[in-house]
A and B are shown apart, each in its own frame.
Chain A
Amino acid sequence: MEYEKENSIVEMMQMQFPEAAFKVKKERRIEVRLPSARLYDFAVRMQKKWNFLHLSAISCVDWIDDGEFELVYHFWNYDEKVLVMAKIRIPREEEGDSHFETISNLWQPAKFFERDIHEMFGVYFDGSEDMERFILTDWNGPPPMRKDFITREFALNFYHYRDYEPQWLKDMMAAGEGNE
């Protein structure tokens, strides 16, 4: 049978979390959608009972049309060799930070990813020891990875570019070709 190992893992997890939606995407990849209140229990069980000891990354996706942030947690199991992507959605605030709970007391690598998501997207992880700015220490603008921040406009307005007007470019633009 195809994907035997992945399907047996899904069955084991579905018994504990009946409200979650599981899907086997391809070999060694399982995707699960959870309600955001159940993530902490899921993470505890992953680490303590099901032996998924490696947190590979935490990613954040800004779905501006839905008004939500999606947080994706990637867990890897060294013995079974399977990756589980746990996806949750939290509401997106226009001004100020959205809030969610931290898992950095379970996994130390989560501290870096949560700090990164905080300064890039504006999601505050409650209970974390350290939410200081890390990479953008002199930045005064909005969180730059949000979809309403257009980096091209910002760069064109804020920085000085060198003037470069050679004759061939002037001829081209007079003929109506080229852009910018």
Chain B
Amino acid sequence: MDEKMTQRSVWEKIAAKLSKRSLWMLHYCTGCGAIELPPTMTARFDMERFGINPMVTPRQADILLITGYLSVKTLKRVVLTYEQMQAPKYVVGFGSCTINGGMYWNSYATMKSLDRYIPVETYIAGCMPRPEAIIYSFNELIAKIDRGEANSWKDYYNNYDFYRENQEHTFEGPIETYNDIKADAALFRI
């Protein structure tokens, strides 16, 4: 398994070099951290020079940016959105609420640790992080893709039962996009 991950074919390396410069971010403001996204996207701390653009539909986005805390009601919609995105996809946890609950650690309505529900690629520390910190972490993500190490999206298919059990413990309701998961896993031969 380790050999398969480190040896990439020439095509995969070229694909990584091209795709790392055109990552599209889903425009979904899930929590209070979203107030620092307009300065990052507009003229002052321009994010578009790295190729990162906001995109409105999850079917055409690569990065899911979870800006801050997630209440249980939003968590259900975020899991649905995550499953609708096409692989390879990257989740960036923004702020200290995704790490261990942050400011709302004793609240009855927010989730405490994001990577029990969906696999997370990188985290940005802060409450809230500055636009320069956001751009720094996007650069780290781009470097990780270039090296071929940004593979946490495969973890969702390998450990699907673990994630599903945690999701069902926290919120009820049918999560319907099971066919998308099977199709994606078959496509990438996982």
Contact = CB atoms under 8 A, between A and B. Distances in A.
Interface of A: 136-138, 141, 144, 149, 151-152, 154-156, 158-162, 164
A162 B106 contact: no
B72 interface: yes
A164 B172 contact: no
A159 B108 CA distance: 9
A159 B113 CA distance: 8
Contacts of B170: 158-159
Nearest to B117: A160
Interface residues of B, number: 20
B59 interface: no
B73 A159 contact: no
| Interface hub of A138, A141, A154, A156 (most chain B Cβ within 10 A) | A138
Given A138-B72, A151-B107, A152-B106, A159 B112 contact: yes
A180 to B, nearest CB: 11
A160 B116 contact: yes
A152 B106 CA distance: 5
Given A138-B171, A161-B112, A155 B100 contact: no
| Interface hub of A141, A149, A158, A162 (most chain B Cβ within 10 A) | A162
Nearest to B106: A152
13 contacts: A138-B72, A138-B73, A138-B172, A151-B106, A151-B108, A154-B108, A155-B101, A155-B106, A155-B107, A159-B101, A159-B112, A160-B113, A161-B112
Given A138-B73, A158-B108, A159-B113, 18 more contacts: A137-B73, A138-B76, A138-B171, A138-B172, A138-B173, A141-B108, A149-B108, A151-B106, A155-B101, A155-B105, A155-B106, A159-B111, A159-B112, A160-B166, A161-B100, A161-B105, A162-B99, A162-B112
B164 to A, nearest CB: 14
B106 A161 contact: no
Given A137-B73, A138-B172, A162 B100 contact: yes
